[in-house]
Amino acid sequence: MTREQFAERIGAKKRALDNWLLSPDSSEYRSMPDMAWKFVREILENRSESA
């Protein structure tokens, strides 16, 4: 899955995802909102069940 596809899957813009994945030392860094983390966890849980 590409970053663009992943961003779309969690309902975020690719730019927001890129900012969440930056080092906290970066001036562009933003922390991921709780709702986005919830979607990420759900995707990972469902992926491990289907593997």
The verdict on pTM exceeding 0.85 is no
What is the pLDDT, as a whole number, of residue 51?
58
What is d(CA 51, CA 11) in angstroms, rounded to the nearest whole number? 24
- What is the predicted pLDDT for the residue at 44? 87
How long is the chain? 51
In one-letter notation, the amino acid at residue 20 is W
Check residue 50 and give its pLDDT.
Answer: 62
Per residue in 1-50, pLDDT tens?
A: 899 999 999 999 999 999 999 999 999 999 999 999 999 999 889 876 66
Residue 38: C-alpha distances to residues 25, 27, 29 (Å): 24, 25, 19
Number of domains comprising the chain: 1
Domain span holding position 7: 3-50
